[in-house]
């Protein structure tokens, strides 16, 4: 992959409003990077609407509607008044209810509390017809562990085909061993019904002392989630410590090992575990060492990039690039690293219903970018 425009990349993407596109060649498809909106405060998650516009959560405590034609940003009223903005916390993942056209329900994850006691929560609200507020906001789920400081919230949201909803959580940063403790929700994937109730078929719904919402456990900090386009299975990726970022296929009830096994080490260089796999523990299908801090993931489906059909797209923070993976049902086959010369942290990557790819640039002056095909 290489940049082939004569325009300076950083200048093109740092201009206000809609900047001149930057042209990129990649292995399978050439595309243009088009800036859709700027001025968002650490955009975290993008939820495309059927209208073509976007909802975007901003970590600094906002949920915004973005008009993709004009770039106009409208911050919604009606959010909870106890959003904890600090460290990695704030407004996090978004998902549109599968029946949004009928119920207009938006689901959002956020950190709740303060610096002394906080946790990840999931709430929902009804988007007004004029895209200016959320009405009927209600909290559906709270992690049952109050932690200090603002680290490792997880926060991605994904609906399943049966209308149940998954929420990823983190281990809290200072509580890594709790990821092995089924009595709390730290370091898990949580599954609830769309009204907040517990599905009867959750793997620990009838297990004494276990939290019935837990779907899988033994995770460090899941930052990406998507459904495989042919199998429908849940794929996630999570941050390791120093090394050992992982892609996992989630199976209900499975233990993914953190911190009993890991490919990473502590930030100070000390060993967390000598083992990378163990009996009764599910291993990742892919791992990154050194860490790239993956964030946001989506399987591509659409008319604009037929060469990418079924491929997995992953944004990265520390790696400052967009990754494309050819995959089969259970494994990663190849990797392409794109936008390596861009030098910006990518917090989210989504594929809209119209087949365009949108990226969220993680910055105080954050941007939404769209990838558009270039026909040679």
Domains of the chain, residue spans? 2-373
Average the pLDDT over 306-317 and give the result.
98
Residue 14 — pLDDT band, cuts 50, 70, 90?
Answer: very low
CATH 3.30.1360.200 describes domain 2-373: no
Displacement of CA 143 from its chain's centroid (Å): 18
Average the pLDDT over 37-49 and give the result.
98
Average the pLDDT over 179-204 and give the result.
98
Catalytic residue among 152, 175, 219, 239: 152
pLDDT higher than 90, residue 115: yes
What pLDDT, on the 0 to 100 scale, is given for residue 19? 57
What pLDDT, on the 0 to 100 scale, is given for residue 342? 87
pLDDT higher than 50, residue 9: no
The yes-or-no answer on residue 185 being catalytic is no
Q: How many CB atoms lie within 10 A of CB 180?
A: 16
Average the pLDDT over 23-39 and give the result.
95
What pLDDT, on the 0 to 100 scale, is given for residue 207? 98
Average the pLDDT over 105-121 and give the result.
97
Average the pLDDT over 85-94 and give the result.
98
Residue 4 — pLDDT band, cuts 50, 70, 90?
Answer: very low
For the entire predicted model, the pTM comes to 0.94
pLDDT higher than 90, residue 6: no
Residue 204 — pLDDT band, cuts 50, 70, 90?
Answer: very high
pLDDT higher than 60, residue 133: yes
């Amino acid at each position: 992959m290489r940049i082939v425009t004569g325009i300076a990349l950083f200048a093109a993407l740092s201009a206000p409003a809609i900047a001149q596109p930057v042209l990129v060649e990649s292995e399978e498809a050439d595309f243009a990077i088009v800036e859709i909106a700027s001025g968002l405060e650490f955009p975290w998650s993008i939820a495309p609407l059927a209208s073509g516009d976007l909802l975007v959560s901003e970590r600094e405590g906002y949920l915004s509607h973005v008009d993709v034609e004009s770039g106009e940003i409208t911050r919604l009223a009606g959010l909870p008044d106890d959003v904890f903005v600090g460290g990695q916390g704030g407004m996090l993942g978004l998902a549109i209810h599968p029946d949004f056209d009928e119920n207009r329900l938006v689901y959002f994850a956020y950190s709740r509390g303060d610096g002394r006691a906080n946790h990840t929560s999931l709430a929902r609200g009804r988007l007004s017809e004029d895209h200016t507020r959320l009405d009927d906001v209600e909290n559906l789920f709270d992690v049952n562990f109050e932690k200090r400081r603002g680290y490792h919230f997880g926060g991605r949201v994904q609906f399943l085909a049966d209308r149940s909803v998954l929420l990823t959580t983190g281990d809290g940063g200072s509580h890594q061993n709790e990821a092995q403790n089924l009595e709390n929700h730290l370091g898990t994937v949580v599954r609830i019904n769309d009204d907040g109730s517990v599905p009867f078929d959750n793997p620990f719904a009838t297990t004494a002392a276990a939290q019935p919402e837990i779907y899988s456990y033994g995770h460090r900090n899941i930052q990406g989630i998507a459904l495989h386009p042919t199998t429908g299975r849940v794929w996630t990726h999570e941050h390791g410590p120093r090394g050992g970022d992982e892609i996992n296929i989630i199976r209900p009830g499975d233990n993914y090992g953190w911190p009993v096994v890991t490919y990473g080490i502590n930030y100070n260089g000390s060993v967390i575990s000598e083992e990378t796999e163990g009996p009764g523990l599910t291993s990742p299908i892919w791992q990154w060492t050194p860490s790239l801090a993956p964030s946001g993931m989506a399987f591509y489906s659409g008319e604009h990039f037929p060469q990418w059909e079924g491929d997995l797209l992953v944004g990265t923070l520390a790696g400052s690039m967009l990754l494309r993976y050819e995959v089969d049902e259970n494994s990663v086959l190849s990797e392409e690293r794109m936008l390596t010369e861009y030098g910006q942290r990518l917090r989210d990557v989504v594929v809209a219903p119209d087949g365009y790819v949108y990226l969220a640039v993680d910055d105080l002056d954050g941007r939404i970018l769209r990838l558009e095909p270039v026909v040679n």
